[in-house]
């Protein structure tokens, strides 16, 4: 006897993914809308306290996004683990280690710029993924989800690198995360950040190459309709 549709494993998987993507879409849409309204209401002054206004929701969304690594690992989300791992850890390190730990960095304009870039990418990506799991596809949305990252992702990495650069004096002054180890050894965290800064651009090259290959494969098979001359 056939199982009811709602008991089928694929139905439950798609339902879970749809809810997950919907939650992420709502979170990032709220952040982007809040930032837009605040900018038109308060002007440039709203950029300084961006983190104080929406930092909690941003941290929540980025923390939940770590579930995507589990999704890929168990096979319920078709994606490559390592490129996604690089993208997620990149954001987690910048958001939680660089920005959250230093109040002086939280007031920098680069935080507002980063949040705009991250939310633009995620709103489109989660909309596309949410509709895909229920079998709905639009040519323009598919093209946008596979193209928007091309100019914005490198800008994200540049903004992240600039955030690290601006944070270095504060890590040097306050000694945050720097620690002494046994046998006269020590960890000087600004050096760790400088090493990570170089790794950030290496990771960008790898991730960009992967995303470009993925874009080429998806747009090649997607049935875009061509207008007849």
- Per-residue pLDDT of 150-168, as tens digits, reads 999 999 999 999 999 999 9
Determine whether 153 is an active site residue: yes
* CA dihedral for 73, 90, 200, 188, sign (positive or negative): negative
Catalytic: which of 20, 126, 160, 196? 160
pTM for the model stands at 0.88
129, two tokens:
């993924």
pLDDT band of 226, cuts 50, 70, 90: very low
Mean pLDDT in residue range 170-177:
91
Tens digit of pLDDT for each residue in 25-75? 999 999 999 999 998 888 888 888 899 999 999 999 999 999 999 999 999
The active-site residue out of 153, 177, 188, 208 is 153
Tell me how far apart the alpha carbons of residues 109 and 45 are, in angstroms, rounded to a whole number: 10
Which residue, among 117, 188, 187, 198, has the nearest Cα to 164 in the 3D structure?
198
Q: Any idea where the domains of the chain sit in the sequence? A: 11-220
- Cα separation, 141 vs 196, in Å, equals 34
Determine whether 52 is an active site residue: no
Beta strands in the chain (DSSP E): 179-181, 185-187
């Amino acid at each position: 006897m056939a199982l009811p549709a709602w008991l089928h494993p694929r139905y439950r998987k798609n339902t879970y993914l749809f809810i997950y993507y919907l939650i992420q879409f709502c979170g990032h849409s709220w952040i982007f809308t809040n930032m837009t309204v605040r900018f038109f209401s308060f002007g440039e002054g709203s950029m300084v306290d961006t983190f104080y206004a929406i930092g909690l929701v941003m941290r929540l969304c980025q923390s939940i996004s770590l579930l995507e690594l589990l999704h890929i690992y168990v096979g319920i989300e078709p994606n490559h683990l390592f490129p996604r791992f690089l993208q997620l850890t990149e954001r987690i390190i910048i958001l939680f280690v660089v920005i959250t730990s230093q109040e002086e960095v939280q007031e920098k304009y680069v935080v507002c710029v980063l949040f705009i870039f991250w939310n633009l990418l995620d709103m489109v990506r989660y909309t596309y993924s949410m509709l895909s799991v229920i079998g709905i596809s639009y040519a323009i949305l598919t093209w946008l989800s596979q193209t928007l990252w091309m100019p914005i992702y490198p800008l994200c990495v540049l903004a992240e690198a600039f955030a690290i650069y601006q944070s270095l004096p504060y890590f040097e002054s306050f000694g945050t995360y720097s620690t002494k180890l046994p046998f006269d050894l020590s960890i000087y965290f600004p050096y760790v950040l400088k090493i990570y800064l170089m790794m950030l651009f290496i990771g960008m090259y790898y991730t960009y190459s992967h995303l470009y290959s993925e874009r080429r494969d998806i747009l090649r098979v997607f049935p875009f309709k061509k207008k007849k001359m």
